[in-house]
Amino acid sequence: MANTTLMMIKPDAVENGHIGNILQKVTSAGFQIKALKLTQLAKSDAERFYAVHSERPFYPELVAFMSRGPIVAAVLEKENAVVDFRNLIGATNPVEAAEGTIRKLYATSIGENAVHGSDSDENAAIEAAFHFAGRECF
Ligand code: ATP
Ligand code: MG
């Protein structure tokens, strides 16, 4: 059964001109785009999105990074979407990411790592609602 995940192309990858290449890899891997937008997170939005990490030492840096410029948000559909998308993007730290993964190709550091992918079906639904109104999802 098809399910969904929430992707963000992070500010570093947008700044570096990788939107098109990343969307190409995503659709080539069999994901269907159900919602898509270029947007920018306010600092308070980034704090809310990554609230689970609020006690971590990198949280202030993460919030500043995620709100510093435009991002692309998308809802993606595929069988096994959450796990398959995390496999497509690779490890959090690009140094550890497998060859051919999006982070291996486009991330610059563990902090500025090009893309986000949901970590569970439950969070995928929460994160889709964070970014999109019902009428923006197809
Ligand atoms: P994401 O949630 O963005 O898809 P992830 O699930 O691979 O990434 P998390 O552990 O959820 O990794 O961390 C969220 C984000 O916080 C990372 O993608 C990265 O941008 C940042 N981050 C994580 N660990 C570090 C670190 N040690 N130093 C700096 N930034 C970090
Ligand atoms: Mg995560």
Instruction: For residue range 96-107, list pLDDT tens digits in order.
Output: 999 999 999 999
Question: What is the pTM assigned to this prediction?
Answer: 0.97
> Which residue type is seen at 17?
G
Q: What is the mean pLDDT of residues 44-54?
A: 98
Residue 31: per-residue pLDDT: 98
- 90 has pLDDT over 90: yes
- For the cut 90, the answer to whether the pLDDT of residue 63 exceeds it is yes
Pocket perturbation via mutation, ligand 1, pick of 76, 113, 127 by most ligand atoms within 8 A of CB: 113
Q: What is the band of 2 on the pLDDT scale with cuts at 50, 70, 90?
A: confident
Residue 1 has pLDDT above 90, yes or no: no
Residue 50 Cα to ligand 2 midpoint, Å, equals: 8
Provide the strand spans (E) within 88-127: 115-117
Tell me what pLDDT residue 70 has.
Answer: 98
Active-site pick, 18, 53, 116, 131: 116
- Quick one: average pLDDT of 119-127? 98
- The residue nearest atom 10 of ligand 1, judged by CA position, is 92
Ligand 1 within 6 A of CB of 103 = no
Residue 18 appears among annotated catalytic residues: no
Mean pLDDT computed over 104-131? 98
Is the confidence at residue 10, as pLDDT, over 80? yes
CA distance 5 to 85: 8
Query: What domains sit in the chain, N to C, each tagged with a CATH number?
Result: 4-136 (3.30.70.141)
Other residues' Cβ atoms within 10 Å of the Cβ of residue 101: 20
